[in-house]
Amino acid sequence: MKAGLLAAPGRVAVDERPDLTPQPGEVIVSLAACGICGSDLEKVKGNYRATQVIGHEPVGTVAAVGPGVTGVTVGARVFAHHHVPCYACPACYSGAYTYCPSYTKTNLDPGGFSEQFRVPAVNVSHGAVLPLAPAVSWEDGTLLEPAGCALTAIRTVGLPPGTTVMILGLGPVGILYARLARTLGAGWIGGADPSPLRRTAAGRRGADATVDPRNAEKVRQLVQLATGGRGVDLAVVATSAPSAVPLAVSVVRRGGTVNLFGLPEAGSHLEEDLQELYLRGIKIIPTYATTERDIAEVHSLLAAKRFEVRDLVTHRFPLDKLPDAFQLAAQPEKALKVIVTGPSFSG
């Protein structure tokens, strides 16, 4: 079978791998589609420490199940989540599931950009193989995981009704954050991104106003105008750019929250006046990844048509064109969400 792999920093390749046979508790999925995530792009650049497996937003058709598997049937349309927590450690007991020491030790084999991939038995037993509702298309399904990340973040930082939000970075996951915040009752939502394509997409169903952050003063002016000079309740850093953090701190109100949501650049540092943070009562809360529970909740929202994601997919590439797909996905002025399609895909 064909499998897309990280061949070396700076390069992805499609190689031949042996066909897969499920072991006890495992599920084999035939790929329909898998989105290219910003963290996949960071892995290619050598800027991601947790894992080097690429492809974690896959949907497909169940091709085979191993002995002992229940509740998952051959031929079913599914999404498969790559990481699961143990639910039995101090991190899990506190609700910080994605910081479980076991979380990143599970993964799809050999990754989501493969004609077929193996879902480990522990993932299957924890409910990480999610059947897709008929109303949820393959393309919708490729956005379940990033939307789940946004929902996990929102639940972590809190979003009381009427919350004012400024999102710095309007890649697909930043836009999903905006759309979910809108669905869940946020008041005013602003967004900032250098790409006109992304600002336009954010404004369709999520953000009330958007601005180019290369002029930081315009970002601050937008927030001041929208909030009567107070600052937003929640500033979301949905980009790896270190410069976005001080900008977020500058636009959040006294007692407000800065959510470190996007993957920071490796080796970057937080350089803020600590006394200023102390006196203003600014909470800085990082959030990372998502759980199968939040993905299932996002799936329910999509199936009920409570928010839309399909328009975020701008380009589709067959698996054997994986390097071309990655090259385009790294150009935010040209593409929003790029997906890679496999044998089970039908438009």
- Asked whether the beta carbons of 176 and 160 are under 8 A apart, the reply is no
User: Does residue 275 belong to any structural domain of this protein?
Assistant: yes
Q: How far apart are CA 118 and CA 64, in angstroms?
A: 10
The pLDDT confidence band at residue 266, using thresholds 50, 70 and 90, is: confident
Q: Are residues 139 and 196 in the same domain?
A: no
Do 122 and 190 fall within a single domain? no
pLDDT at residue 9 is higher than 80: no
Residue range 92-120: mean pLDDT, rounded? 97
The tens digit of pLDDT for each residue in 194-224 reads 999 999 999 998 999 999 999 999 999 999 9
Kindly report the CATH number assigned to the domain that includes residue 31.
3.90.180.10
**pLDDT, position 346:** 77
Q: Tell me what the mean pLDDT of segment 133-145 comes to.
A: 98
Q: What is the CATH number of the domain that holds 228?
A: 3.40.50.720
Three-state DSSP class for residue 130? strand
List, for residues 110-134, the tens digit of each pLDDT value: 999 999 999 999 999 999 999 999 9
Amino acid (1-letter code) at residue 322: L
pLDDT band, very low/low/confident/very high, at 46 (cuts 50, 70, 90): confident
| Residue 299 counted as domain residue | no
List, in sequence order, every residue forming a beta bridge with 259; answer none if it has no partner. 236, 285
- Give pLDDT, residue 344: 86
270 and 319 within one domain: no
Share above pLDDT 70 across residues of the chain, in percent, rounded to a whole number: 99
For residue 129 the two structure tokens come to 């193989």
Say which residue the tokens 């943070």 belong to: 277
132 and 33, same domain (yes or no): yes
Q: What's the rounded mean pLDDT across residues 152-160? A: 98
Asked if 263 and 329 sit in the same domain, the reply is no
Residues 60 and 122 in one domain: yes
Examine the domain organization and report whether 237 and 326 are in the same domain.
no
**What percent of the chain is modeled with pLDDT above 90?**
91
On whether residue 262 sits in a domain, the answer given is yes
Q: At residue 347, does pLDDT exceed 70?
A: no
**Sign of the torsion angle spanned by Cα atoms 197, 324, 30, 67:** negative
The count of domains in the chain is: 2
Same domain, 249 and 180: yes
Position 45 pLDDT exceeds 90? no
| Whether 133 and 175 share a structural domain | no
Tokens (6 digits) for 339? 């997906």
Q: Are residues 11 and 129 in the same domain?
A: yes
**Which own/partner pairs from 221-228 qualify as long-range (CB within 8 Å, at least 24 positions apart)?**
222/190, 223/166, 223/190, 223/251, 226/164, 226/188, 226/190, 227/164, 227/188, 227/253
**Closest by Cα among 293, 5, 336 to 143:** 336
Q: What gap in Å lies between CA 283 and CA 305, rounded to an integer?
A: 33
Q: Are residues 6 and 106 in the same domain?
A: yes
**Tokens at residue 326, please?**
């990655």
pLDDT at 49: 65
Structural domain includes residue 34: yes
- Based on the fold, state whether residues 179 and 221 are members of the same structural domain: yes
The reply to whether 24 falls in a domain is yes
Dihedral sign, Cα of residue 252, residue 150, residue 187, residue 311: positive
Q: Is-contact 232 219, C-beta < 8 A?
A: no
Asked if residues 213 and 183 have their Cβ atoms less than 8 Å apart, the reply is no
Whether residue 294 is contained in a domain is answered as no
Which pLDDT band, with edges at 50, 70 and 90, does 271 fall under? confident
Give the mean model confidence (pLDDT) for residues 12-22: 96
Task: Name 31's bridge partners.
Answer: 60
Q: Is the residue at 297 inside a domain?
A: no
Q: Which helix (H) or strand (E) holds 279?
A: helix 274-280
Alpha helices (runs of H) in 62-165, residue ranges in sequence order = 90-93, 121-125, 138-141, 144-157
Q: Residue 51: which pLDDT band, with cuts at 50, 70 and 90?
A: confident
Q: What is the pLDDT of residue 193?
A: 98
Lowest mean pLDDT segment, chosen from 154-158, 169-173, 263-267, 275-279: 263-267
Assess if residue 9 is contained within a domain.
Answer: yes
Quote the mean pLDDT of the chain: 96
Segments forming the whole domain that contains residue 225: 157-286
DSSP string, 211-277: E-TTSHHHHHHHHHHHHTTS-EEEEEE-SS-TTHHHHHHHHEEEEEEEEE-SPPPTT------HHHH
**205: which residues sit within 8 A by CB, 6+ positions away?**
179, 182, 307, 308
Of the candidates 7, 41, 9, 5, the residue with the CA atom closest to the CA atom of residue 329: 41
pTM comes to: 0.96
